[in-house]
Chains A and B, each alone.
Chain A
Amino acid sequence: MRHTLSITVADEPGELSRIVGLFSARGFNIETISVGKSLDPRWSRVTIVTRGDDRTIQQIVKQCERLARVREVQDVTTRPHIEREMALITVSARAGTERQEVLSLVSVFRAKVVDISHTEMIVEASGNKEKVDTFIELLRPIGVTDITRTGHIAINRLATREETPLAEEEFALSGIRT
């Protein structure tokens, strides 16, 4: 199953490679990774999308938590959350029906045109993985020549209703952790 981990780590040189190195050394897989500062600029937020059964994910979380400069590792997948990814896509868009077709897809997907030439456009799309994937798939037959994707970032949803106490929820989800 796909999991999105949100890792809070000190903003110091080399800390990202420590996390990435841990994944490769222990045979865990990184599907996407993105890094940026958190609210407190001394701490970075690393968002990693990875795959594995519950036991593997637990092991990844624990191994990451062992790192001296990691403050917190959250598996955001286990709670209501919002995921976003951005993509910049270069697509063929010659004047005429082709350009119109691209623009109509851009409008349906609430994407943006950020650059244009006689023959091509660069469009910016954001959303969850499925949305960005679908958008790219629909553009592909028209002629996609380049793609850059940011990888996921994620954040927990705001609480809008009464929730079960956090501790118990965590206890249930973590299974063997007592």
Chain B
Amino acid sequence: MIARQHIDNRFATVAPDETSEMPTGAEILIQALVAEGVETIFGYPGGAVLHIYDELWRARERITHYLVRHEQGAVHMAEGYARSTGRVGVVLVTSGPGATNAVTGIANAYMDSTPLVVITGQVPKHLIGTDAFQEVDTVGITRPCVKHNYLVRDARDLAAVVREAFHLARSGRPGPVVIDIPKDVSAQRVNYSRLDHVSFPFSDKPASVDHRSAEHALHTILNAKRPVLYIGGGITNSGAGDSLLSFAEALSLPVSPTLMGLGGFPSSHQLCLGMLGMHGTYAANMAVAESDLLVALGVRFDDRVTGKLATFAPQAQVIHVDIDPANIGKNVVPTLALTGDVRQALDQFYALAQQQSVERLQESIKQRESWWEQIRGWQRSQPLRYAGSQNQIKPQTVIRELHRATKGEALITTDVGQHQMWVAQFYPFTRTRQLITSGGLGTMGFGLPAAIGAQLALRDQMVVAVVGDGGFQMTNQEIATAIQYGLPVKVLIMNNGYLGMVRQWQEMFYDRTYSEVDISVAPDFVKLAEAYGAAGFRAERPEELRDVIEAGLNHKGIAVMDIVVSKEENVFPIVPAGANARDMIVQ
């Protein structure tokens, strides 16, 4: 049982019936983490977690702790680690400011469905509620942005809590779980060593896709004349990339990923229409606007995708597959809802399609020929494009150059803003987990720590953090972490001296009133990199770009590439907030 009468530890850290032979809460915690297969923890120590850090030191052969420079960095690193591997990321921070600094990362993980277990220290039980030093109501503060959280009042509950926390973090729609541990609980010695006998008091709610609905869905798809597969982060989380590819190819269906769905389907594939949404391609947005069937796979109809809901895909029937029942019908009421795992659903669709006669499949593909002609027309008339320049480096060129230099194989992380959209548009992703970006929360400063987390999970992978000069300055202290652990991440700063996306909106929708977006007073990023012990490179002129990117990527250690790009470049196309595909501004 999780709920248990708690022992009053006001006057003693050792309960009278328990001796020093027995494990402490901290020991139980570490054992439980080892039992979950945890090898990596990102964290930052402090008073309330001293017992845990003491124990962690003893367990350092089994669990490697990465000491960050700010707790937000710890959570983003854990996110990068989790999103590059599919494993649960683990964070350990202290009470009060340690916990509040972690909140941005926790909220980010919640929005982007990333499995994390975040362990926070808390003041001793008898001080809770007294406004004690470094006390904050962590469970209260994090409640709206976690799948679940715990305040552990008895060390005997710890093993069960840890096991359930990992289960919750990775099951269903993944997300962050917080475990708040008062200092006296981590010191408490208890007669408890039965890790193997822990069972959850609460049942799991498994989701499997109903066969009849799958059949109905397939027939609707076969009969559709103008279908689009609208795919999101659920493809990555369920590992559905291959299943999607097989199914889309079998029926020759157009596919459009959201920002979170990029890599879920190869961007270079002829069936791929490019990204959907506010800064998506003209063809993708027009196809959805004209579609008669939208097959929504692992998505949540975010406002950055739909624009104005009332006129989103107005002629389309909607089949919505998602593992989170609350996503279904939240923003768009589907014609057919399938609650369950996206890969399972796609495999069922594919298997059912294989049972159809060859004539039936060919007939289905044939009736969409004119749809494909229409789509090709949109692609020809409005491809992604930008004006080149002789004397300024264009940010879009930077991404294309990065793509060329990395042969399209790098793992890319980003912050949020213009650089993020240019990455999404101009770096064709070909595999799931290749792009790790802050999608839902839109967190500046996410890219660098996320890259560090991904780099330590995948040592041989080229990992590049593409960031803006604004976001970089929010978490650049983590270069020290990368240096400390020899993680050779590459940082590419798209430096325009502005908070670019805000400036773009001010230009387009606020009469060019550039209110507080000039951040041209900044450190020399090359010198900053060197001050940390990393290598710094700078390109200011178009002819320098290729060499600087080559030099940065080929540098053995951490490299910071400061690319000075044209200052007032805008991201196009853009569907203004609350508008629709037809209102799209292409240039």
Residues of B within 8 A of A67 (CB): 148
B330 part of interface (Cβ distance < 8 Å) = yes
Q: Which residue of A lies closest to B3 (CB)?
A: A12
Instruction: Please report which residues of chain A, range 44-76, place their CB below 8 angstroms from some CB of chain B when the two chains form the complex.
Output: 55, 58-59, 62-63, 65-69, 71
Residues of B within 8 A of A58 (CB): 329
Instruction: Please report which residues of chain A, range 10-41, place their CB below 8 angstroms from some CB of chain B when the two chains form the complex.
Output: 10-14, 17-18, 21-22, 25
Count, A-B residue pairs, CB within 8 A: 59
Query: A178 contacts B202, CB within 8 Å?
Result: no
What separation, in Å, do the CA atoms of A10 and B325 have in the docked complex? 21
Query: A177 contacts B325, CB within 8 Å?
Result: yes
What separation, in Å, do the CA atoms of A166 and B87 have in the docked complex? 40
A55 in complex: contacting residue of B143, B210, B329, CB < 8 Å: B329
B147 in complex: contacting residue of A10, A62, A68, CB < 8 Å: A68
Report A68 CB to chain B, min CB distance, Å: 4
What separation, in Å, do the CA atoms of A176 and B338 have in the docked complex? 9
What separation, in Å, do the CA atoms of A176 and B330 have in the docked complex? 11
Report B220 CB to chain A, min CB distance, Å: 13
A161 part of interface (Cβ distance < 8 Å) = no
Residues of B within 8 A of A118 (CB): none
Query: B329 contacts A13, CB within 8 Å?
Result: no
Query: A17 contacts B143, CB within 8 Å?
Result: yes
B325 in complex: contacting residue of A13, A42, A62, A71, CB < 8 Å: A62
A66 in complex: contacting residue of B326, B328, B336, B337, CB < 8 Å: B326
A25 in complex: contacting residue of B144, B213, B329, B334, CB < 8 Å: B144
Q: Which residue of B lies closest to A67 (CB)?
A: B148
What separation, in Å, do the CA atoms of A99 and B326 have in the docked complex? 54
B228 part of interface (Cβ distance < 8 Å) = no
Report B485 CB to chain A, min CB distance, Å: 34
Interface string of B314-328 (1 = CB under 8 A from A): 000000000011101
CB contact under 8 A between A176 and B333, given known A68-B168, A69-B202? yes
Q: Which residue of A lies closest to B1 (CB)?
A: A42
B328 in complex: contacting residue of A10, A11, A176, CB < 8 Å: A176
B143 in complex: contacting residue of A13, A21, A178, CB < 8 Å: A21
What separation, in Å, do the CA atoms of A25 and B146 have in the docked complex? 13
What separation, in Å, do the CA atoms of A177 and B333 have in the docked complex? 10
B523 part of interface (Cβ distance < 8 Å) = no
Query: B326 contacts A62, CB within 8 Å?
Result: yes
Residues of A within 8 A of B526 (CB): none
What separation, in Å, do the CA atoms of A175 and B147 have in the docked complex? 27
Query: B213 contacts A55, CB within 8 Å?
Result: no
Q: Which residue of B lies closest to A59 (CB)?
A: B330
B483 part of interface (Cβ distance < 8 Å) = no
B-side residues, CB < 8 A to A, are: 2-3, 139-140, 143-144, 147-148, 151, 168, 202, 210, 213, 324-326, 328-330, 333-334, 336-339
For the complex of A and B, list the 7 residue pairs with the smallest distance between their C-beta atoms, beginning with the closest.
A62-B326, A68-B148, A12-B3, A25-B144, A62-B325, A176-B337, A63-B326
A-side residues, CB < 8 A to B, are: 10-14, 17-18, 21-22, 25, 42, 55, 58-59, 62-63, 65-69, 71, 176-178
Instruction: Knowing that A17-B143, A66-B324, A178-B339 touch, tell me 8 more A-B residue pairs with CB under 8 angstroms.
Output: A14-B143, A22-B144, A62-B326, A65-B326, A176-B328, A177-B325, A177-B339, A178-B210
